[in-house]
Structure 1
Amino acid sequence: MKWLLRIVFLFIAVLGLVIGALLLMPGDKLASILAEQVKAETGRDLNLSGDVRLSFWPVLGMETGPVAFGNAPWAGSDPMLSAQSLAVGVDAAALMGGDLRIKRIIAENPTLRLELSDGRGNWEFTSATPNEGTTSAAATPAQGQQGAVTLDRLQLTNARLVYVENGATRYDFDNVDLAASWPDPSAPMTLEAQMTVPGGAVDVDLTIPDLPAYASGVATPLTVTLTAPGGDVRFDGRVNLAGEMDGNFHVRTQNTERMLAAFGQAGVGVPLGLGTAADISGYVTYTQDGRISVRDMVAQLDENRVTGEADILISDPPQITARLDAGDLDLSKYNTAPAGRSGETSTGPVKDTGWSTDPIDASALALANGKIRLKASSIAVPGLTLGPSDLTLNLDRSRAVLQMNPASLFSGQLTGQVVANNRSGLSVGGDLKAEGIDIEQALTALAGVDRLSGTGTGSFKFLGVGQTEDQIMRSLSGDGRMDVGAGVISGFDLDRLMGRSSETGGTTVFNSLSASFTLDQGVLRNDDLLMSLKNFRADGEGRVGIGARDIDYLFTPTALRANAGQGLSVPVRIVGPWSNPSIQPDLSKVLEAAAEGKVKELEDDAKQKVLEKVGDELGVTVTDTESIEDAVKNKLQEEAAKGLLKLLGAD
């Protein structure tokens, strides 16, 4: 029995000497030993600065000053993990039983860099031990040959999280507080994170129910909830070790602009109708090459509901291909701020003083590149409402091309394209063809003119440059043509104007109208207008100031049956602002026409007297100037014949 007591006493003494030696060992020597062990187990360098303090029971732990843990050989030169201080502790009793129960991992001001390249992650470790070669630590030993591994507490304070994929930095977040727990091998792993962003903080709650399966590379369930200023995001699906995932997602925003600002997109305006408040759900798939596929999408954007599918390539900017369907899409308040937005007040009705001089925010053209096709029952935009339409929007580096395939507008159909380019200042242009357009609707919406009605066809090319609506309208250039069937001009009665009716006011009904025009510096010019009526025809020429919103146009109707069938013209001048033009006969033109008629009458009388005098002298009837020449020739021939006969002695 005494020898047993001596052995126990000797063991305790040796253990005490070992512990004492460790406690008395200089910090730099202890750090060197730990670094060698980490190098042997992971193949990575561990650099420890300052004193290293150990604890043995009940927690076997270590506390150190500044620490840096090396990156994978193929990754960047920056360490995978660095921190101002690090504390690690494991359950000593569980460790003696073969289980690794990590009680704590606490890091102050750490930087964690996660890198993925060609399917390899820098979180996958290799051993430097010769017998192990380069076997991945992710490879799971045979069942029963390893003890349980758990994590009671992981805490990172004021951390920086960097994620690099194939050499490109995808995410870089500062001021992150992170806490994780995995208390039992069969329990879910939970993670909570918070980071400071403009306008507040983003909170992330993540749950992986089967961490061992995830760590072995199997796609496992994942639930993530992200709460940010202005909205929240939820994902419920599956994920694998490479970061690929698929499942259901749900995005809700109460203030989309605030949420975009929280993720580094400050200053991006979201117009009413396109999701100042949004509720979007669907099924999403993400692959490690940065591709997102969305199916069964339902998006409630303010009062608009859109369904469809989309494919997105994460890049700068994102590449989007989408096919969308909508019912009645209301974008009529595109440039209107939502009620109650901070710093903005509502005003009463504003008197129309011309085109708007407010700057146009075209920054949304730079949000993405790609191709989006939209089918809708109707689309209301400021000042216009399209009927059933099939539209394709192509986006390329702040340039948008809207293709109409066709679009229903003004009770007719438009084909062609409209372009908005904001690469170096804003410009808008188009090349359109129209069929069956209601002219009154078109002129009222586009120019505020409601005096002409009818159904027409036409073509229109235009280009405008400027940062305001007013600048664009004053810079318009282009050309076009229109042909209108039967229609009505309101505001004056052509029959009364030509003296064929005693009624006042009224309208003028025409059978057809055609005209071509050119645009330059916001001024439309036309010199070939032709209008056909029952008893009249009308010609027109003049200018329409698109930018200045005024008109100076000469409209010349001709009564075809008047003046003994010779016609009678009474020109009408339309001049003044669009809102209240003056329409009245141009008396100067009437007087000129009358004077020309009198001169012609005098010329005809003189000519007739000359013809009669010549006829009397020649003894023949002369009706025109050519008859005078013939009569003179005939008279000379007759007299010459008589003289020749006398010379020959004939009677």
Structure 2
Amino acid sequence: MLDPYLGGGSGPAAGGAGGGGPARGGVGGAGWSTDPIDLSGLKTINADLSLTARTARWDRIQVGDSALAVTLAGGVLKADLSRMALYGGSGSGSVEIDAAGAVPAVKAGFRLSGLDAHPFLTDAADFKWLEGVAAADLDLTTAGASQAQMIGALDGTARLDFADGAIRGINIPKMVRGLSIETLLGWHSVEVEKTDFSSLGASFRIRNGIAETTDLALAGPLVRMSGRGTTDMPARTLDWRVEPEVVPTLEGQAPAPRKKGETRDLAGLGVPIVIRGSWANPAIYPDIEGILDNPEAAYRKLEAIGGDLVKILKAKPDEALATAAGKAIEQATGGRTQIDVQKVLEGEVNDQDVLKAVEEGFGLPQGLLGSFGLGKKKD
């Protein structure tokens, strides 16, 4: 009913099941829309309405059975949603859209629970990493003449909680236990992999579209994890550092993640992980410096678990490993660097320049590979 007055977001809705293609002016692969949002219709009428709706839509977000009270006067629309159904859950909230000025401004507050997280996040932000049952508390303000400007001007707070779900694309316990040459070269997301959790939550402070958290907490059958980081919504990028504690078996949960200043015995093998880059396909790699703040304890723990990395450092690597590492280096450097990985790993060459280039290329601490005995000519 209000679509003629609200302007943008006229593309086809993806619906509560998360299907359908990108909407015009929506959140397609190219980023946020810069098309002007036309809210001039709000200045043409005054109204005071109580409404019920079976469906409602804004851009790709689909809302089900809802009850709302709407007032519209002088180009300012205020809507109080006493109930709304969306993505298998429910919620309530309020929205104020001020189109009276030169630049539209929006104020919104929502309390949501029981949402199917994956389709909701896919439709709302083209974010496809999470699944589970979601709850959210949102208090946000913004202003702008386009979707991109509004995302860049977002301010406020948010609290997100997920239950009985998974992080898609990565299996953190498997990655940490399967330490290998990939630990130095970085991990890759794999669509079929998952990290299951029973709970995942974080609170965010949002300024100019950049959401920052310091209290990420995850608990699952094989891993517990704490973390902090920023999500740059205008750029659609992540910069996170998380500390998982992996359980050796299914027999019990891991202890709580180590806090700064606590004993560094690396119980449960807590390997800090960096998640950085585009939120559609970020780079995921271990924080090597975090491991090396107590190298003796880390090495003993790696030996006890029998990680492949220790085997590599103790024994001559086979040709398959060198081939895999060579491919990873070629991919990372765009084929511009030719390195005989087999000889470097075996220590048959003394090419510190090569090792330095590899360290710089992968963001590793200077001298790390040499400290493991790599690149030293044999006697």
TM-score normalised by structure 1 residue count: 0.37
- The one-letter code sitting in structure 1 at the alignment partner of 2:41 is A
Between Structure 1 and Structure 2, the one with more strand by share is 1
Q: If you compute each CA radius of gyration, which structure gives the higher value, 1 or 2?
A: 1
Q: How many Å separate the matches in 2 of 1:481 and 1:350?
A: 22
Question: Residue 367 of structure 1 corresponds to which residue in structure 2?
Answer: 44
- What is the Cα-based RMSD across aligned positions, in Å? 3.2
CA contact (8 A) 1:495 1:501 kept: no
Is contact 1:419–1:429 with CA below 8 Å preserved after alignment? yes
Q: Judging changes above 3 Å, is the alpha-carbon distance between structure 1 residues 350 and 435 closer, same or farther for their aligned structure 2 residues?
A: closer
Against the structure 1 CA distance between its residues 492 and 415, is the aligned structure 2 distance closer, same or farther, given a 3 Å change threshold? same
Q: 8 Å contact 1:448–1:578 — kept in the other structure?
A: no
SS at match of 1:443: helix
User: Which of 394, 397, 401 is the matching residue for 2:74?
Assistant: 397
Q: State the SS of the aligned residue for 1:558.
A: strand
Deviation, structure 1 residue 549: 1.3
Question: 1:478: Cα distance to partner?
Answer: 0.1
Q: 1:522 to 1:332 in 2, by over 3 A?
A: closer
Structure 2 match to 1:507? 194
Secondary structure at the counterpart of residue 498 of structure 1? helix
Task: Give, in whole Å, the separation in 1 of the partners of 2:117 and 2:207.
Answer: 22
Whole-Å Cα distance in 2 between the matches of residues 568 and 355 of structure 1? Answer: 40
**Is residue 533 of structure 1 aligned with residue 220 of structure 2?**
yes
Relative distance call for 1:332 and 1:522 in structure 2 (3 A) is closer
> What code does the residue aligned with 1:472 have?
M
Q: Within 5 Å, which residues of 2 pair with 1:162-173? A: none
* Alpha-carbon distance between aligned partners in 2 of 1:595 and 1:428, rounded to the nearest angstrom: 54
Identical-residue share of aligned pairs (%): 27
Contact 1:334 1:381 in 2 (8 A): no
In 1, the alpha carbon distance for the partners of 2:61 and 2:141 equals 19
* Structure 1 residue 442 displacement after superposition: 2.5
Q: Does residue 520 of structure 1 match 2:207?
A: yes
How far did residue 565 of structure 1 move?
8.8
User: In structure 1, the residue corresponding to 2:280 is in which secondary structure?
Assistant: coil
Specify the SS of the correspondent of 1:588: helix
TM-superposed CA distance for 1:474, in Å, is 0.5
Relative to structure 1, is the Cα distance of residues 539 and 565 closer, same or farther in structure 2, using a 3 angstrom cutoff?
Answer: closer
How far did 1:460 drift? 0.6
Q: Give the match for residue 557 of structure 1.
A: 244
Which residue matches 1:542?
229
Query: Cα–Cα, structure 1 residues 506 and 441, in superposed 2: closer, same or farther, change >3 Å?
Result: same
Match of 1:419 among 92, 96, 117: 96
2-structure distance, mates of 1:535, 1:515 = 20
For 2:27 and 2:129, locate their aligned partners in 1 and report how far apart those are by CA, in whole Å.
24
Is the Cα contact below 8 Å between 2:292 and 2:298 reproduced in 1?
Answer: no
| In 1: Cα distance, 2:265 partner to 2:155 partner | 45
Cα 1:415–1:351 shift into 2, 3 Å:
closer
Distance 1:445-1:334 versus aligned 2 partners, 3 A rule: closer
C-alpha separation in 2, matches of 1:460 and 1:370: 27
Structure number with the bigger relative contact order (C-alpha 8 A, sep ≥ 6) is 2
CA distance in structure 2 between the aligned counterparts of 1:354 and 1:449, rounded to whole angstroms: 12
Q: Alpha-carbon deviation of 1:588?
A: 2.6
1:571 aligned partner: 272
Kindly tell me: are residues 358 and 593 of structure 1, through their superposed partners in 2, closer, same or farther at Cα, counting changes over 3 Å?
farther
Residue type of the partner of 2:195?
T
Deviation at 1:475, TM superposition (A): 0.8
Contact persistence 2:28–2:126 (CA under 8 A): no
Deviation at 1:413, TM superposition (A): 1.2
Match of 1:381 in 2: 58
Alignment of 1:418-457 (within 5 A): 418-424=95-101, 425-457=103-135
* Runs (5+) with no aligned partner, structure 1: 1-269, 276-330, 337-346, 600-651
User: Matched residue of 1:568: which SS?
Assistant: coil
Q: Is the 8 A contact 2:173 2:223 kept in 1?
A: no
Report the CA distance between 1:559 and its aligned residue. 1.9
Shift of 1:335: 10
Give CA-to-partner distance per residue, 1:54-74, whole Å, 9 cap, x none: xxxxxxxxxxxxxxxxxxxxx
Give runs of aligned pairs for residues 44-83 of structure 1, distance below 5 A.
Answer: none
Deviation at 1:515, TM superposition (A): 1.0
Measured at CA, do residues 487 and 540 of structure 1 come closer, stay the same or move farther in structure 2, by a change above 3 Å? same
Question: Offset at 1:373?
Answer: 2.2
Show the counterpart of 1:477: 155
The one of 474, 481, 494 aligned to 2:172: 494
